[in-house]
Amino acid sequence: MSLSYHFLIFVSLGVVAVVMGNNYKPPAAYHQPKYEPKYEPEIPACSKNTTKNWCLEDSEYPAYEVVYELDKHYEAVVALYKNVVAETANSVDTLTKLVDETYLCPSATSYVQPLRAVNTKGKWRVIINKVESYGIKYDQHARIEECEADAAGKACPLVPTCYESKCLQKSIYHRFLVFDPTDYYFPFAIETFKLPASCACFVGAFSL
């Protein structure tokens, strides 16, 4: 076999290798799926159904994401939760029925478990409520009392007219364990919320 013939075969194989090399695509690498935190909108959809700064019903509540992160950060979250449990219990356990309460001003009282609320910085937050992780049920309550619409700013109906009186809305601060989906490392914190607590009767000077 001549030298030129061998050279021709070698060149032909080289051309084929180059063509195949240019068209070669490595197999796609397999990426293991992982959970990515979901960014919550600044103003949740549930706020459109209420005039209040909290939501008791929330069709978009991120229960799956909350439980996933609770399981992941179990010990650290339990430590935070213990800090707010006592305060929550003290704020709602002293009275068991609404009939036990006496009012000088017309008001509406309820014991609630907010799923979202606006914190003292004006930001909507997801509150950890009605979920369970490793046998621990996360429940956070608040007692809310609001003056009736026609009572705020008016005279207290049970106070004699010889006294100057006025019904005024008062609020107190609550601390809740919240979920922040934008924090990749530890999406939990304790934040402060201002909620209506009583429709108070302020009495002024006695008048003849």
| Number of CB atoms found within 10 A of residue 41's CB | 9
Q: What is the CATH number of the domain that holds 199?
A: 2.10.90.10
From CA 115, how far away is CA 124, in angstroms rounded?
10
Q: What's the CA angle centered on 139, arms 145 and 47, to 5 degrees?
A: 55
Q: Choose between 1 and 120: higher pLDDT.
A: 120
Residue 169 lies in a domain: yes
Residue 73 lies in a domain: yes
Name the residue among 143, 18, 130 with its Cα closest to residue 63: 130
User: What per-residue confidence (pLDDT) applies to 121?
Assistant: 97
If one counts the domains in the chain, the total is 1
* pLDDT digits 0-9 by tens, 119-142: 999 999 999 999 999 999 999 999
User: What per-residue confidence (pLDDT) applies to 38?
Assistant: 56
* pLDDT digits 0-9 by tens, 150-193: 888 899 998 888 888 999 999 999 999 999 999 999 999 999 99
For 193, the domain range is 37-44+51-206
User: What per-residue confidence (pLDDT) applies to 149?
Assistant: 87
Per the CB < 8 A criterion, the answer to whether 188 and 180 are in contact is yes
Per the CB < 8 A criterion, the answer to whether 65 and 40 are in contact is no
Q: Choose between 32 and 159: higher pLDDT.
A: 159
Residue 28 lies in a domain: no
* pLDDT digits 0-9 by tens, 69-108: 999 999 999 999 998 886 665 555 444 455 555 578 999 9
Residue 167 lies in a domain: yes
Residue 138 lies in a domain: yes
Residue 62 lies in a domain: yes
Residue 101 lies in a domain: yes
